[in-house]
Structure 1
Amino acid sequence: MTTNEETYDIVVVGSGGGGLVGAYVAASRGLRTLVIEKTGLAGGTTAYSGAGLWFPGSAPIARAGVEDDVENARAYLRDVVGDSSRERLQDAYLEAGVRLIDELERNPWFQSFVHGPVPDYFASAPGASVAGRTIFPPEIPAAGLGDHARLVRGPLSAERWGVDQGPVLNGGRALIGRALAAFLETGKGTLRVDTALDSLVVEDGRVVGVDAVSDGAPVRFRATRGILLAAGGFERNAELRAKYQPIPLTGEWSNGAPGNTGDALLAGIAAGADTDLLDESWYVPGLVQPDGLPVFQSGLRGGIWVNAAGERFMNEARPYDQAGHEIARLHAETGVSHIPAHWVFDQRQLDRDSFGGPPDQPVRPEWFSSGALRKADTLEELAELIDVPFGTLNRTVEKFNGYARTGVDKQFHRGETPWDRMFHHVIPFPFLPELNYLAKPSPEWPNPILLPLDTPPFYVATIVLSDIGTKGGLKTDENARVLRPDGQAIEGLYAAGNTAAAMSGHVYPGAGTPIGSSLAFAYRAVLDIAGSAT
């Protein structure tokens, strides 16, 4: 046992969105709060994201002039989740989101969140919103954060390829930067990076601290009020994924932060916690890049995906979690490989939308030199490149081209939902300006995301099954208290984000559900710790 010991009111494990916002809420109430972060930078997977928060009925939605009603959102959640055991969690989530945003916006660091027009993912469900219920943090100049900016994890493009981060933090980095500054400037907050959780300290059945390794040395952090585990999922742990998940992914293809290896999950289990949804992930299609690893793929407007048989198998534009789950299901159930799948498109599509970079710019040479993008003069040559039967691929393309001429995808209905149509209408994306080019229409075709594949040369890229994190974890109640298998709470222990089992069960209701859940339940945890939960 270490003799190096420090004491705080609250210890938060993890510095993603939920961890830092929860820590700010605690510190702003005068509680001495420590955040420990395994890596050298704050932000976790949140820093890679657009920082969408699915918060129905929140003030930014009303300010945007969008009619929204929490009761409609409740009906929507009930329908799409379809699990009565999660109804109390849903109610807690809906209540917390409205209150949390009201509280955050009273602090100048958070300024005013903005509504983004991202439709709910299950368009036909009762209570679904076409206008969307997702809000985003405003961007912030790095200079405006001062020294805090250097502690914020870079975007995925910077970490993977060394792309200049630029002078402005947007999306998840803006949320992390703002939350970090607000937390540290309370005067009650401390951040310790390069500090990894080892185990929980349990005395007389109550969790009273954490044992950690900080800069290579053991240290014990005691917490007089409570411990909040918000350290992400176990997506980067191949052993745990093999143990719990049906698709044998190693974590190499994940878009989760590199430190997310399930440390908090294992510590909670060792302390007696129950678990749920460990077989689940926030699955997404991943487009393999020139470095051989995928990036979360969403917003497809052209081309088709085909499996190892050369057959098209889904609406390629459907919401990403649904697409990821369908790839996983078909790969497991049909006897035909869908991992990898092949994204086939033609010169017309390339001319309209470019590939792998900004619009109206040539494809970067490394796409071809690495083999991440391949080119063929004919469909027959392309079929040989990807080792699929030419006859089947040719019939697949002919059928798709017929749909393109009529504008109706009779097979998979691409372009018929509000989500699909978002990518071919002129919709501003103030929160992610790099997506604005997706709004360019193609008026010469009746459905702008069903362009025919008839203009050689043809191209093929690779789609694999990726994720933005696992979504199973410690079982919690409506105040984020971690539960034992008998349903009793473990005193002093709370969990939020992907360390906890998702309130949305097996589905992804709308853009911003994962980060929204992390913030909402971290908030409820702190309110419970502070004695002000309702």
Structure 2
Amino acid sequence: MNKFSVLTASVLSALMLSSVSAAPVTTEGTGVGKHGDIAVAVTFDNGKITKIDVVQNKENKVLAQKVFTELKDNVVRTNSVEIDGIAGATFSSKGFLDAVKAAADKAGVKLAAKPADTKKADSAMAQNQSYDVVVIGAGGAGFAAAVEAKSKGANVVLLEKMPTVGGNSLISGAEMNVAGSWVQKNLNINDDTPERFAEDTLKGGDFKGDPEIVKVMTVNALPTAEWLKNTVGVQFEDDNVFQFGGHSRKRALIPHGHTGTEFITKFSALADKMGIPVITNMKAEELIKDKDGRVVGVKAVSAGKDYTFNAKGGVVLATGGFGANAEMVKKYNPSIDERFKTTDAPGTTGEALYMAERAGGQLVNMGYIQTYPICDPISGVIELIADARFDGAILVNQEGKRFVEELERRDVISKAILDQPGAYAYVLWNDNIGKI
């Protein structure tokens, strides 16, 4: 072969190689979510994301569900991380998007800039629907109301304004005060009664509560807990109960995992099994009344479209409080001003209270807003070490001095902390915690 033919062969070989597509490549990236690292494995083909696998995460599986489904799908569809995260799961969304970006950087792939539209097309859901019962708010109370109504034969729908269900119930510790429970009996706590529970509740609320309503709660606490365990499937610890501040006995049942995730996952599964439609991203805006003044439905909005949900049997308003609405909090309790963060879920903004008021409801005791004593001073998120005080941990100030009874009410402890130098405290315990 002469020199010319060798050069020709080399050129042809180079042309052939340049015409073959590069093989897909998979790289891993890590971002920081709300509860730790989020690791992903991203597959790229010709500079496009074709697949994302979530390798590691410790996020709340209910709250972050759409991060790893809907948001993930949007990233693949748009080939971009410059898109909106999931409302109510901000930190999880950011951690996931940062992880994908890190994987792209490692692969040498430049992702697309912010796309013009990242929303899915509106569904063909009917804009006028009729049910026996409409429940507003898909937290623990809303799910309980929907499940119970359905079990009685009612046709039910559950509306939730946020992209995910759960609300405050999901992110709470979800302990449940119950007098005379099977766990108390396991621990030989045999002197607790609904009457004692009611006394503690009224005293702990400075006797502002309605005794008849308190009685309904305390008398029905045990059958409700048994319903949660036996019908809904909630698992409680069988060998431990908490004694919260203001209570004279250890009576708070503890769910598996010490968070409301146990409640909401079980409620969600049961609602699905029972055929209860749970419509997220649906914000109730107005209660509909008939000529006699009876509430017979709800007007709502989703993605700019108006919907009407007629309710032959009634509307259940289970939308929680307004702790995430700083302006509303300050309006009703000026002492809780801009200095305070919130432990509430992002959707706890209180508009439905005004909706009820416009329909003729009366708002009462709005100024009684609880502050939680042990939280992250930057984000406001509850610090789980707070529960250590129920097992014997103490609070000390900057001088190392104990300054409050740790089993006092939350408002008492909060005020005591704010009165210390620097307005903060430390939680202190040793290996004997839980043995005191």
Bucket of the pairwise TM-score, normalised by the shorter protein: 0.5 to 0.7
1:279 partner SS: coil
User: Partner amino acid for 1:192?
Assistant: I
Q: Contact 2:146–2:157 (CA<8 Å) still a contact in 1?
A: yes
Distance 1:178 1:320, change over 3 A: same
1:135 equivalent to 2:253? Answer yes
Match of 1:192 in 2: 279
Pick one of 293, 317, 322 that aligns with 2:406. Answer: 317
1:320, 1:117 → 2: CA distance?
A: 17
Match of 1:530 in 2: none
Q: Which structure is richer in relative contact order (CA contacts within 8 A, separation 6 or more)?
A: 1
1:453-468 aligned within 5 A? none
Distance 1:202 1:251, change over 3 A: farther
Per the TM alignment, residue 58 of structure 1 is displaced from its structure 2 partner at its CA by 3.5
Match of 1:293 in 2: 379
Q: Contact 1:58–1:98 (CA<8 Å) still a contact in 2?
A: yes
Q: Which runs of 5+ in 2 are unaligned?
A: 1-125
Deviates more, 1:198-207 or 1:277-286: 277-286
Q: Contact 2:131–2:157 (CA<8 Å) still a contact in 1?
A: yes
2:359, 2:421 → 1: CA distance?
A: 37
Per the TM alignment, residue 49 of structure 1 is displaced from its structure 2 partner at its CA by 1.6
User: Partner amino acid for 1:326?
Assistant: K
1:101 equivalent to 2:109? Answer no
Render the CA deviation track for 1:256-303: whole Å, top value 9, x for unaligned: 0001110211111111111112112121124436xx312334246466
Per the TM alignment, residue 230 of structure 1 is displaced from its structure 2 partner at its CA by 1.1
Q: Contact 1:59–1:98 (CA<8 Å) still a contact in 2?
A: no
1:263 equivalent to 2:351? Answer yes
Q: Contact 1:236–1:252 (CA<8 Å) still a contact in 2?
A: no
Render the CA deviation track for 1:327-353: whole Å, top value 9, x for unaligned: 59x77xxxxxx79613369xxx7xx77
Render the CA deviation track for 1:377-420: whole Å, top value 9, x for unaligned: xxxxxxxxxxxxxxxxxxxxxxxxxxxxxxxxxxxxxxxxxxxx
Match of 2:415 in 1: 326
Q: Contact 1:10–1:225 (CA<8 Å) still a contact in 2?
A: yes
User: Partner amino acid for 2:205?
Assistant: V
Match of 2:293 in 1: 205
User: Partner amino acid for 1:40?
Assistant: P
1:143-158 aligned within 5 A? none
Match of 1:225 in 2: 313
Match of 2:337 in 1: 249
Distance 1:192 1:48, change over 3 A: same
2:413, 2:354 → 1: CA distance?
A: 26
2:197, 2:426 → 1: CA distance?
A: 37
Per the TM alignment, residue 97 of structure 1 is displaced from its structure 2 partner at its CA by 1.4
2:289, 2:413 → 1: CA distance?
A: 39
1:176 equivalent to 2:264? Answer yes
Distance 1:224 1:46, change over 3 A: same
1:305, 1:70 → 2: CA distance?
A: 37
Q: Contact 1:283–1:320 (CA<8 Å) still a contact in 2?
A: no
1:30 equivalent to 2:153? Answer yes
1:66 equivalent to 2:189? Answer yes
Render the CA deviation track for 1:13-39: whole Å, top value 9, x for unaligned: 111111112211111222111111111
Per the TM alignment, residue 61 of structure 1 is displaced from its structure 2 partner at its CA by 3.4
1:304 equivalent to 2:393? Answer no
Q: Contact 2:232–2:266 (CA<8 Å) still a contact in 1?
A: no
Q: Contact 1:59–1:102 (CA<8 Å) still a contact in 2?
A: no
2:240, 2:411 → 1: CA distance?
A: 21
Match of 1:499 in 2: none
1:264-279 aligned within 5 A? 264-279=352-367
Per the TM alignment, residue 66 of structure 1 is displaced from its structure 2 partner at its CA by 2.8
1:180 partner SS: helix
May I ask how many residue pairs the two structures share in their alignment? 303
Per the TM alignment, residue 46 of structure 1 is displaced from its structure 2 partner at its CA by 1.3
Pick one of 235, 240, 243 that aligns with 1:116. Answer: 240
Distance 1:201 1:327, change over 3 A: farther
Distance 1:81 1:255, change over 3 A: closer
1:133, 1:264 → 2: CA distance?
A: 32
1:288 partner SS: coil
1:226 partner SS: strand
2:312 partner SS: strand
Q: Which runs of 5+ in 1 are unaligned?
A: 140-169, 332-337, 354-422, 428-440, 442-534
Q: Give the greater-gyration-radius structure (CA).
A: 2
User: Partner amino acid for 1:232?
Assistant: G
Per the TM alignment, residue 120 of structure 1 is displaced from its structure 2 partner at its CA by 4.2
Q: Contact 2:404–2:416 (CA<8 Å) still a contact in 1?
A: no
TM-score between both structures, scaled by the size of structure 2 = 0.61
User: Partner amino acid for 1:37?
Assistant: E
Per the TM alignment, residue 95 of structure 1 is displaced from its structure 2 partner at its CA by 2.1
User: Partner amino acid for 2:165?
Assistant: A
Per the TM alignment, residue 304 of structure 1 is displaced from its structure 2 partner at its CA by 2.9
1:247, 1:321 → 2: CA distance?
A: 16
Distance 1:29 1:113, change over 3 A: farther
2:415 partner SS: helix
1:76, 1:302 → 2: CA distance?
A: 23
Q: Contact 2:406–2:413 (CA<8 Å) still a contact in 1?
A: no
Match of 1:214 in 2: 302
2:286, 2:409 → 1: CA distance?
A: 35
2:425 partner SS: strand
Distance 1:83 1:285, change over 3 A: closer
TM-score between both structures, scaled by the size of structure 1 = 0.51
Q: Contact 1:11–1:36 (CA<8 Å) still a contact in 2?
A: yes
User: Partner amino acid for 1:80?
Assistant: G
Match of 2:434 in 1: 426
Per the TM alignment, residue 63 of structure 1 is displaced from its structure 2 partner at its CA by 4.8
Identity within the alignment, %: 23
